[in-house]
Structures are given as structure tokens and as C-alpha cells.
Amino acid sequence: MSKKTAVVAVGGNSLIKPGEKGTFEEQYNAVVDTVENVIKLIHEGFRVVITHGNGPQVGNILIQSEAAKNIVPTIPMDIAGAFTQGGLGYMISQVIKNHLVEHKYNTDVATIVTQVLVDKNDPAFKNPTKPVGPFYKNREELNDKIEKEGWVVIEDAGRGFRRVVASPKPLDILEKKVIKDLIENDVIVIAVGGGGIPVVNDNGKFKGVAAVIDKDFASSLLATEIKADYFIISTGVEKVAINFNKPDMKLIDKMNIKECEQYISEGHFAKGSMLPKIEASMKFLENGGKNVIITSPEKIFDAVNGKTGTHIIP
């Protein structure tokens, strides 16, 4: 029987725990806790691809870059995305590799800094909504960025002014063949970090752009491209709920695409929270996928074995 493949999408916020500053030591320890149950899948014989968020980490890099702008050149967003893919990928791969060596597994682990193609005419570029980087006290101090670099700036709930960028839909994963080849050779892969580095095709050449691709949509696309058996979304709750945080809240064990559509139309899933996870799940299933699981990091292994989590099927 051939091995099953699982794409496991880990949230960037789970790599910086509440109440912590997000030092690299703290993040490393969080990685240890987060991938513990993913490693159990490897013990079960799964081929595993780990994807991850990077929102807090990119935010930190942009804040550091702005603070040091009079000393060293600032860092563009696409480069910041590449930095976090490398840094977080290094931590995740090292934690897994150390575990495998300890348990005498002769398995390789690889981090792929991944570029994801987006459409330069995606409507999202005309309506950027994703806040990034530091807060600024005065809009005037951003005039130079607005005029010369085309920044879009909004006032953010009385906390100051902040840059916003587009969140375009992912169309293709440039390194998909490399990732697939590695998986077929039983290499554990970390890829599509932070949704991947958004690039556009500019007259036949790829070019990085300042944007944020939703990690779950990019992970769904990757899971489709490599024909994964499972697409697992790790989040802050053990199960998806309708009427969330209300007296009549109901946890969902299993639902299909039609039920997902119904719950979305009834407004059960928050736009910046569960909705993109449900939509990414539906996309995977509509493109031929068979199994989606949404659950918390510590429940991943139990969820794959049918003991918990929300299971979404075609």
C-alpha cells in the first residue's frame, strides 16, 4: 500500500505564544510544541509537507527595518517573506531532524523557499486591505512612501497610520515539481511559508510584489498540486463551530461542501478568522481532494485517527 501524503498548515501565531515577546528562543520552543503531533504522523508512515504562517514574523522584520532605516537599507516585503520562510523553515526542519536522528530514522528534511504566482491584475491590488508593518503617528511622515513607492495608508482604529497591501489569490506554485519530487522520495518538506512569496509574471519574467497571500489558500493549492490525501489546517480551536461563542454554539464533527456553503451564507464564519479556512478547504475538495481536517495543533494526530477535529468531505 502506498504511503499517504498530508499537507499540514500551521498558523504563524501558534509559533509566537500569547504573552511572549517572540524571541527566537521562544519561537523555537513553540515550534517544538507545535510539530510534536505532526511528527506522530511521520511515525505512522505519512509523507508530510508542513506549511506555516508568518504574519507576526514579517511584521517584526518590517518594524526592525523601519527602525534602522537611517543606518541600513530597508527590506522590501517580498524579501521579508523569504527571510521568514528561511528562518522558520530552519527551525521546523531542525526540530524534526533532531527527533528523527534520536529515533534512528534515516529520513531527510528540506525547506523550500517558495514563490507563488499571482495575477498582477487581481482585483485585490486595487483594494488593499491587509495591514503590515509598524504604526506611524502622522500621515505626513509617510508622504514620501506614498508618492514614490505607491504605499496605501489607512488610519487604524485610533492607534495611528499603517500601510495596507493586497491579498491576491494564489494561481500557481513555481517550485511545485521540486516539492513533489522530494515527497515522492520520502523527504519531509517545509514549503509555502506565509502563503509563499507573491510574484507576478512581468513580460515573461517573475517579479516579487508587496502583497500577502493567505496561507490556507496557498496550502490548499499545494495540496491539490501534489494530490495530497489529507489537507490539515491547524488553528486555535479543536473543532469548527456554528454560532461561535453564543449560548447555542454547536461544534461540528463532520460536514460536506453543501453544508459549508449553507453555513457561510448564514454568516457563521468570521471573515478574518475561520472563513478563509473553510473556503480553502472547499477549494481543495472541489479540485479533487478527499479529506480536510481542521483542528488545534495538539489534536492533529488524534484528528487524523478520527477521534476529534472537524472533518470536511466532498
As annotated, the active-site residues are 12-13, 130, 215, 277
Three-state SS sequence of 227-241: CCCEEEEECCCCCCE
Q: Residue 241 and residue 283: Cα distance in Å, rounded? A: 20
User: Which residues, in sequence order, are bridge partners of residue 131?
Assistant: 164
Assigned C-alpha cell, 6: 498530508
In total, the chain counts a number of residues equal to: 314
271 in Cβ contact with 210 (< 8 Å): no
How far lies 297's CA from each of 31, 54, 208, in Å?
Answer: 11, 16, 31
Query: Strand 115-117 and strand 197-202: pairing?
Result: parallel
281 in Cβ contact with 233 (< 8 Å): yes
Q: Residue 15 and residue 253: Cα distance in Å, rounded? A: 26
- Could you give phi then psi for residue 58, rounded to 5 degrees? -65, -40
How far lies 269's CA from each of 129, 240, 254, in Å?
Answer: 19, 9, 16
241 in Cβ contact with 250 (< 8 Å): yes
Assigned C-alpha cell, 104: 534512528
Cell 481532494 -> residue: 289
Assigned C-alpha cell, 34: 507545535
- Could you give phi then psi for residue 248, rounded to 5 degrees? -100, 25
Q: Residue 65 and residue 217: Cα distance in Å, rounded? A: 28
